Amino acid sequence: MSKNSSRRDFITRSAATGASTAATLTGAPAENASAAHIAPLKTANTTKYTSICPYCAVGCSVNIHTLGDKARNVRSAIVHIEGDPESPINRGTLCPKGASLEEFVQSDRRLTKVRYRAPGAREWTDLSWEEAFGKMAARIKASRDAGFEEKDAEGRTVNRLENVAMIGGCTDTNEINYLLGKFRFGLGILAYENQSRL
């Protein structure tokens, strides 16, 4: 799964793309009297993970370089995200959005707490997950109990819920979508749309 990135990356990349560059021609420091200033490679001691760009549907593979070993008190930090040279789709290349995925993952605007806005309130307040799940489940149940139709006007079993809608999913994996489907059909929700249809 993870490999330490090294020169090997480059060699596999070259092999994969048939690129003509080789380590020797890039001016290795040894032959270069004035190379002492060159900064150490920032991905030198990172762990590399394989992932897929979350933006458009070209499906570019990316390598995520992280620091930190995920020990109990360590949240590994993403140092850099770069195109995966082995992917036949992108061969290491990325578009301007993909090339800055690190900014996206580590944006200072990421949500890190459950936010709650009470009816009529002008501000968000924080909520714990436990409180949030309790409240949300209660709201859903109340609406479902009010709106669930076991039989339609003609007496046919329809088991549907039409006063709650669900949207989303196209930003997430198949598996999440499958779970959302079970959630949806478990509740009986029919109004369910996603970005693929807009």
Partner 1 sequence: MIVAKLIDTTLCIGCKACEVACQEWNDQEYTLGTFNGSYQTMPDLAHNFWNLIRFNEVERNGAQSWVMSKYQCMHCAEAGCIAACPAPGAITQMANGTVDFVHENCIGCGYCITGCPFDVPRLSPATKKVYKCSLCSDRTAVGLEPACIKTCPTNCLTFGERDELLRSAEIRTRELKADGHAQAGIYNPAGVGGTNVIYVLNDATQPEQYGLPKDPEIPWTVRLWKGPLKALGAMVFMGSILGAFFHYVIFGPQDPEKHGHPEEEPTHEA
Partner 2 sequence: MTNGWTDVANADVVLVMGGNPAENHPVGFRFVMEAKRQRKAKIVCVDPRFTRTAAVSDCYVPIRSGTDIAFLGGLIHYAVTNNKYQRKYVIEHTNASFLIAEGFGFADGHFSGWEKDHYDKSSWQYELDGNGYAKTDATLEHPRCVFQLMKAHYARYTPEKVAEVCGCTPEEFLKAAEMITVAAAENKSGTVLYALGWTHHSFAVQLIHAAAMVQLLMGNIGMPGGGVNAQRGHANIQGSTDMGAWNMLPGYLKIPRASQTTLAEYLKVNTPKALQAKSLNYWGNTPKFMTSLLKAYYGKKAQRENDYGYGWLPKIEDKGDHSWGAFFDDMHQGKLEGLISFGMNPVANGPNTHKMLTALSKLKWMIVAENFETETAAFWNAKTLAAKDYPEALSAEQIQTEVFLLPAANFAEKDGAFVNSSRWLQWKEIATDPPGEAMRDQEIIARLFLEIRRLYEKDGGKGREPLLNMSWDYALPHKPLLSEVAKEVNGVDLTTLKQVNGFGELKDDGTTACGNWVYSGCWTEAGNQMSRRGQEDPTGLGLYPKWSWSWPANRRILYNRASADENGQPWDKTRAPLIWDGERWRGDTPDYKADAAPGTLPAFIMLPEGVARLFAPDLVEGPFPEHYEPAESPVSNPLHPDVSANPLLKTYSSEGAKFGQAKDFPYVAITYRLTEHFHYWTKHTSSSSELQSNFFVEVPAELAAEKGIANGDRVRVSSARGQLEGPALVTKRLRTLKVKGQKTYHVGLPIHWGYVGKVTGPLINNLTPSAYDPNSGTPEYKGFLVNLEKIS
The residues binding partner 1 (CB under 8 A) are: 7, 9-11, 19-29, 31-35, 37-42, 80, 82-83, 90, 92-100, 102-103
Residues 27-56 that bind partner 2 (CB under 8 A): 49-56
Per partner kind, with CB cut-offs from 5 to 8 A, the member of partner 1, partner 2, none near residue 29 is partner 1
Q: How many residues bind partner 2 (CB under 8 A)?
A: 121
Give the C-alpha separation, 28 to 7, whole Å.
12
Residue 164's nearest CA partner among 194, 140, 198 is 140
Residue 97: CB atoms within 10 Å: 14
What CA–CA distances, in Å, run from 141 to 15, 177, 192?
57, 22, 18
Q: Which is nearer to partner 1, 21 or 128 (CB)?
A: 21
Give the C-alpha separation, 198 to 196, whole Å.
6
The answer to the question of residue 72 lying near partner 2 (CB under 8 A) is no
* Segment contacting partner 2 by CB under 8 A, of 3-11, 21-29, 37-45, 120-128: 120-128
